[in-house]
Structures are given as C-alpha cells and as structure tokens.
Structure 1
Amino acid sequence: MSEARIWHGGDLDEARRLFPRAPEPWIDLSTGINPIAYPVPPLPASLFERLPSPADHRDLETAAAEAYGATDAAMVVAAPGTQVLISLLPHLRARSRVAVLGPTYAEHAHAWRKAGHEVVEAEAQGQLGGADVAIVVNPNNPDGRLIDREALLRLAEELRARGGWLVVDEAFADFDPRESLVPALPCNAIVLRSFGKTYGLAGIRIGFAVASRAIAASLRSTLGPWAVSGPAVAIGRKALRDRRWLDAARAARAADARRLDALLKPVAETPLCGTILYRLLPSRHAPDLFRHLGEHGIWVRRFQADPALLRFGLPGLPADWRRLENALALFRSR
C-alpha cells in the first residue's frame, strides 16, 4: 500500500494543476521562506569544478556555531538540508517510543515511523516525558507556539535519566532566537537549524544539527564525505557571518509580518499567529479563500488535518502585495 502523501509548500506544479486558468506568474505564499534573499556573491568556477575542501566544510560549521551560539564547532554538523537530518536521526537509535508535540511539521513523525519506531502525537508538553525520544518544533510550524528554554531543559533532564533524546527543530528561530536551546545544549539534545528559510536560499540546501560530540560524530559518519556542495559552503559561511544583513532582514520582515496581519485580519475569525516568516489564518471560510486566491494566481498553504487553517508566507515584490490586497478585497466583497 502506498504511503499517504504529505503536503508541503512550494509546489507550484500542484497549483497549476488545481487552477489551470489562474494568471501567471504565480505568487507563491505557501512557504515560510524569506522572499528577499541574501545576495549571492560571485562564485569562482573552481567551486563547481572540484570537491569542497574539508577545511572549507569545517569553516562552514564554525560559522554556524558562531551564528547559533554553540560552544564548540565540533558539535555542529552541516548537511544538504535539514530534511536530510530529519530522515537520518531515526536510524541512529534502536526502536524507541517517540512523542512528537503536535500538530506540527509532519515529516518528523513520518521519518521516525518509517524507520520502525513507535510514534505518538502529544497534544501537550506534559505528555512528552514518558517517551524515549521527544520532538519539539520551536517556534512551532504552523502556529508559532514557543516553549521557553527552561521548560526544554527540564524535559531534556527527564529524558536523560533513561537514555532518551530531545530533538528540537529550530528551523524558524533565526529571527526569534530568545528561547534557542543551542547556547545551553544538554548532552542528550539535538537541535536542528535551517539556513534556507531565513536567508531566502532554500534551493542551495543547507541545514545543521547541533548536538554532543558523540551524536554529531554519528551523524557526520552517516552523512559521509562532501555532504554539502562547494558553492553552498561558500555562500553559507559568508551569509552566516553577515550579522548586519541578518539584523536588517529581521526588522524588515517583522514589518512585513505586521503588514500582512493588517491585510488578513478582516477575513480572520480568531487572532492570527505564526512567526515573522509566515502567518496562520484561522477561518471557517478557509477552503473558499484558498480556492479564490488560487483562481487569482496566489498559492497559500492549506492543511490536510485542518481545512479551517491557511498559512501565508510574506509577499516579496510591491506588485505581489498589491495583487494579494486586491484579491482579498474581492473576497470580502462577494
């Protein structure tokens, strides 16, 4: 029997299939990716002609350690995207009881279940402690729920007493790092960080795990050599050290999130939530709004588990903002 398909953002092929008469170009608001990307520097041809050097790869991990507040660069493992790390982690443990604090990013439960583990979705933080592995997305995707660091440290200690792991996915923490677990990382915790979302460069595929030296070594061994391409290494280490760009992007995207809230508030039935890079709209009219926006060439994120929710990423261009504003006005006037 084939596995159920997990819906993700960014699938414009599906958008065109569902709405073949929609105007082009599509505005893709279905992801939580910064629409204003980090400016890619000119790259020498040699980066495409040779394997990435171990020294450059280590420097990328050092840059990530500096950016995320890790105490030791040897605890940071660079990978070709966080999704690869999500898929690999279940293979580093014997069969375990895994609790995922949900509802959240579906690939976590899927990866552990596919690897033969017993997986349950916990509805509250208090239900995580009885598992061998607890998984928390912080801030959460899609609602932006944020668990404070002290609570995570207590959970890690509870798990450590019986050899358990705490996995914390901080894919959206770059713009809101106040509760990041990295600076106070317990020995049994693994933190995942995404590069592409914050820097708007999802296509180059970089992600990081931050863990104890022992767990990091296991991940590194499983990934094998040359896990990250030379061009991605060059771009990643430059961007991660550009704190001025990050601070400016954080302020600009926070302003964009407030602007988006103002546009969405008239069609929301309860308060909007989410993170700086996406906003979650609850409405019983969500299916109609999804269809209306699709017919106008605007692709937003719907959810299999709850059709009353839509997630909106941030528009990038002034023309995109105008098209979204006009489409929402037409929906309200119907």
Structure 2
Amino acid sequence: MLEHGGKLREAMQRYGGSDWIDLSTGINPVGYPAPALSPDAWQRLPEPDPALVRAACAYYDAPGLLPVAGTQAAIQALPRLRAPARVSVSAPSYAEHAHHWSRHGHVLRQVPYTALDAAVRDSDVVVIVNPNNPTGATVPPGQLLAWHAQLAARGGWLVVDEAFGDTAPALSIAAYAEQPGLIVLRSVGKFFGLAGLRLGFVAAAPALLAQLEDLLGPWAVSGPAQEIALAALRDRAWQQATQARLARDGERMRALLPGASGTPLFHWWAQAQPEAFHEHMARRAIWVRLFRDAARGIRIGLPATEAHWQRLEQALRDWNQR
C-alpha cells in the first residue's frame, strides 16, 4: 500500500515514547462529539438513510449524493466504471488517485497544476484535488467548470476531490455535479475530525451514482457512521464555531512556518532539509508527514491543545537554533 499520514504505532516502535503529538494527517484534531447511538445502529443491517442524504445535500449544496465508506472507496471504484482511457491526475496530490487510475488498462500521466489546462485538451478523464493535498493549491470554480464543459462535450469526466473543501466552501462545484461527466468527492473525516467513521459522499449525475452504488454493493456505510454523520451535518452551531477556530489556528500555524502554504487544517512547508526536519520532530515525539521524491517537503496539521502548541513551538525554535 502507499505511504500515508498516521501510522503512529510505527513511529512509537521506531522512536520510543508514548506522549506523541500526531500532526501528520491534516484531520481536525478537535472532532465532532459523537452522540449516543440507538441500539438499531448496531443491530440492524445498515440500509441507506434518506435523512442522511438530505442533510448531506443541504450541507454540501449538492443536488444528489451517494454515501460511501470514505472517499477512498470511490477513488478505488471510479476507474472500474470506464473503459481504458487517457487519464491526467494533478500532481503532486493525494497519491491514491494516480495509483488506482494507473490500473484497469488506463493510460495515466501526472500533470503539474500549471499544466492542467493543456492536459484537458487531450485527456478523457482529468482528476484534480481542490484544495490540493498536500500543497494547498487551488483552482477557481469557473476554471473547473470550463474544463468540465470541454471534457463532457466528448464524453469525458472531470473528477474533483474536495475532501478538504469544508474550510473553502466558495471553491466547491458540488452544486453542478448533476451534469454528466462531473464527479465531486466530499469527506466527513477531515473537517469533522471523524476519519474513523470511514464516510464520504460522491456527487454526480444520477446514472453514474447508480452504477457506483451497484459496484460498491449493499451496506456500504455502517449504521453508527450514518447516525453520527447525520448529527454532525445538521449541527450548524458546531460547524460555525469550528470554522472560526480552524481559521484562527490556521493563521497561528502559518505564522510559525514562514513561506508555508496550505489550508486551515494543514500547511505545506517546502523545507530545504525535509528528512532532517522530520527526524528532528520525531525525536521530540511530534509526528509530521514527510514527502520525498517529486514533492519534497513537510505537511503539518494542527495541534489539539495549547500544551501541544507549546511543544511544537519549542521544537521549531530548537530547529531554527540548531
């Protein structure tokens, strides 16, 4: 499997210690407080709940959505719904997209964000992460819709991964996803801090959603996940307070990392010595995400508590004074 954030047990085994701060994922560290669950959530087969879909459509401003077991489930399934095609994936970005489109007979190329406009002209499928993970790069909605129109005119697809889009709602094009050839992925795990639920949504034309649902099979999303997500998607007071907190914390992080880019949930730092920095932080029981190869740099998520902020700030001072 590909390398991802998390894997805190692995860090502990390698470096020792137990009081670790995990900043490697970009997931909201102060997640939605899950409510008590009904007995039915555990005892019944998890048939789809229309109330969950209605709440998600209202939250994401989408005409129609399919709940899936995390956006990862859709990322793995979508390449199986097309005949072999010419596929361009934005790069660097979430590596699972390129990994799965490279299979099933597709011809894959990874394209820098600055070259996407040219790639649209000779691709059948274009996949874009917006905001991008790990760099935070963004593409304006108008540009995305123009690219979709070009692709759809010849039966192509534009796939837009908006997993980190909650803190930048103006970027979303989920409202247009009923149009053929436009597929938008949304995640409950990032903004709501509920990655363990394994829940996401796909916005697309009804015919494609039906194909995807058939491919994924019955009971794709657990009953507990549906109940917790329904409460989270309806809780506008929590959402508003969290947006404000993440904005403040994002600005605090940006001030600590000169030249960094990103979103309120994570920052991308093109560190000149990323391996050494990663090792420096790990020796202080702070786990950040190291990117090698073409995307050389560090991604840092948000601390959960003031004590964690203080430890991070001290570790950064130590690094700068070495």
TM over 0.5: yes
> Quick one: which of 106, 118, 129 aligns to 1:127?
118
> Quick one: which of 294, 305, 318 aligns to 2:282?
294
Residue 264 of structure 2 is matched in structure 1 by 276
- Deviation digits for residues 282-314 of structure 1 (CA, Å, limit 9, x no counterpart): 121222111110001000001132474100000
> Quick one: which of 10, 16, 20 aligns to 2:12?
16
**Does 1:116 find its partner at 2:109?**
no
Structure 2 length normalisation: TM-score?
A: 0.95
Alpha-carbon distance, 1:142 to partner: 1.0
SS at match of 1:178: helix
Amino acid in the other structure paired with 2:99: H
Q: Aligned equivalents of 1:181 and 1:13: distance in 2? A: 37
Q: Once the two structures are aligned, what percentage of the paired residues are identical? A: 45
SS at match of 1:312: strand
Structure 1 length normalisation: TM-score?
A: 0.92
- Deviation digits for residues 106-141 of structure 1 (CA, Å, limit 9, x no counterpart): 100101112221100112121321111000001111
Q: Aligned equivalents of 1:150 and 1:307: distance in 2? A: 27
Residue 163 of structure 1 is matched in structure 2 by 155
Residue 78 of structure 1 is matched in structure 2 by 67
User: Which deviates further from its counterpart, 78-87 or 45-54?
Assistant: 45-54
> Quick one: which of 18, 24, 27 aligns to 2:21?
27
Amino acid in the other structure paired with 1:128: A
Residue 319 of structure 1 is matched in structure 2 by 307
Q: Any gaps of 5 or more consecutive residues in structure 2?
A: none
SS at match of 2:166: coil
Amino acid in the other structure paired with 2:208: I
Q: Aligned equivalents of 1:192 and 1:305: distance in 2? A: 26
CA RMSD of aligned residues (A): 1.3
Q: Any gaps of 5 or more consecutive residues in structure 1?
A: 266-270
- Deviation digits for residues 30-57 of structure 1 (CA, Å, limit 9, x no counterpart): 0010000101111123311111244xx2
Q: Aligned equivalents of 2:119 and 2:247: distance in 1? A: 32
Amino acid in the other structure paired with 2:76: S
SS at match of 2:238: helix
Q: Aligned equivalents of 1:34 and 1:332: distance in 2? A: 27
Distance 1:307 1:166, change over 3 A: closer
- Please list, as runs of the form range in 1=range in 2, the aligned pairs for 1:128-143 lying within 5 A after superposition: 128-129=119-120, 130-143=122-135
Q: Aligned equivalents of 1:317 and 1:88: distance in 2? A: 37
Alpha-carbon distance, 1:19 to partner: 1.9
> Quick one: which of 130, 142, 145 aligns to 1:150?
142
Whether the 8 Å CA contact 2:92–2:294 is kept in 1: the answer is no
Q: Aligned equivalents of 1:255 and 1:82: distance in 2? A: 27
- Please list, as runs of the form range in 1=range in 2, the aligned pairs for 1:61-100 lying within 5 A after superposition: 61-71=53-63, 75-100=64-89
Aligned length: 318
Residue 256 of structure 1 is matched in structure 2 by 249
SS at match of 1:128: helix
**Does 1:244 find its partner at 2:237?**
yes
User: Which deviates further from its counterpart, 119-128 or 312-321?
Assistant: 119-128
Amino acid in the other structure paired with 1:167: V
> Quick one: which of 41, 49, 52 aligns to 2:43?
49
Whether the 8 Å CA contact 2:66–2:209 is kept in 1: the answer is yes
Whether the 8 Å CA contact 1:28–1:300 is kept in 2: the answer is yes
Q: Aligned equivalents of 1:147 and 1:331: distance in 2? A: 33
User: Which deviates further from its counterpart, 40-49 or 131-140?
Assistant: 40-49
Distance 1:131 1:308, change over 3 A: closer
Whether the 8 Å CA contact 1:28–1:298 is kept in 2: the answer is yes
Whether the 8 Å CA contact 1:7–1:304 is kept in 2: the answer is no
Whether the 8 Å CA contact 2:12–2:18 is kept in 1: the answer is no
Q: Aligned equivalents of 1:100 and 1:53: distance in 2? A: 34
Whether the 8 Å CA contact 2:92–2:295 is kept in 1: the answer is no
